[in-house]
Amino acid sequence: MENIWLIAGGGILAGLLAGLLGIGGGTVLVPLITALGATPIQAVATSSLAIILIASSGSIQNYRMGYITLKQVLSLGFVAIITAQLGVYVASLIPDYLLLIGFGIVLLANTALASWRRNLKRQNFDPQKTEEKSSWNPILAQLLTGGSAGFLAGLFGIGGGTVLVPLQMILLAEPIKVAIQNSLGVIVITSISSTAGHAWQGNVLFLEGFLLGLGGLIGAQVSTRYLPKLPDRVVAFSFYTMMSLFAFYSFWQGWMLIPPNPPS
C-alpha cells in the first residue's frame, strides 16, 4: 500500500505522544492524514478511529501500573459522550480551512491555560500542604472539563487531551502527571463517541485509521512506561513545545486552503 510506512510511523509517533503527554495523538494524526491527501473532515474522523486503539493501549498500561483513577475517568467521560456528537455535527457545517485554523487556535489556547495553571501553583505553593484543593464545585468542574473535551474530540479529532490536561489542572487541581494519565482514559470514551458519529456520516477512512492505530499501540506502550520516571519540568516543556509546533503547522495548512478572492 502506498505510504504504508509513513502511516505506520505516524501512528508510532502519535502513540509516543499519547502516553507521554496525554494528548491522544490527534495533534500528529490530523496534520499527517491531511498531508497524505485526505480532506480535513476525513482527517478528523480517521484520527478519532486511530485514537481509540492508541489511547486504549496506553490506558490499559496505566491501569495495570496503578496510575489511573477510574472513577475520575468515568465521571469526565460520561458527559463527553454527548458533547462529542455535537462536535461532529458542527464539524460537518464549517469550511475546511476554518476547521484547520480552529484546530491551531485550540492547541495554542490550551498551551496558555496549562502554563497559567503551573504559574498559579508556584505562586501559592505551601510545603506544609500535602495536597491542593480546587475552589470550583467538583460537579461543575467535571461537567466543564469532560464536556469541553468531548466537543473538541468530535470537532477536531484530537481525543480531547489538549483540553483535558490543562482543565484538570485548573478546575480539578490535579498535578500534570495525574492529569495526563486520567486524560488518556477519558480519550478512549471521547474517541469512540466521535468515531461513531463520523462513521455515520461516512467520513472515516477505516484502513488508514486502523494502520495508524496499530502503530500507535507500540508507541503508547513504550511511553506510558517512561512517563512516571520523567521530571515534571521535562513533561511540561514537551507538552508546550509540541502544542506550539502543531498549532503553527495547522495555521499554515488552513491558510493554504483559504479560497482566493473572486475577481471584481
Q: Residue 196 has what pLDDT?
A: 92
Q: 49, 24, 12: which is closest to 184 by C-alpha?
A: 24
Query: Which residues of the chain have a pLDDT value below 70?
Result: 1-3, 18-25, 110, 113-135, 159-162, 224, 226-228, 232, 261-264
Q: Residue 121 has what pLDDT?
A: 53
Tell me the residue ranges of DSSP E strands in 135-207. none
Q: Residue 264 has what pLDDT?
A: 47
Phi, psi at 30, each rounded to 5°:
-60, -50
Helix axes 206-226, 40-64, angle to 10 degrees: 40
Q: Residue 141 has what pLDDT?
A: 85
Q: Residue 25 has what pLDDT?
A: 66
d(CA 216, CA 208): 12
Q: Residue 22 has what pLDDT?
A: 57
d(CA 33, CA 45): 10
Which residue ranges make up each domain of the chain?
Answer: 4-257
3 state DSSP class of 94:
coil
Q: Residue 197 has what pLDDT?
A: 92
Helices H / strands E in the chain, number of each = 10, 0
Q: Residue 103 has what pLDDT?
A: 81
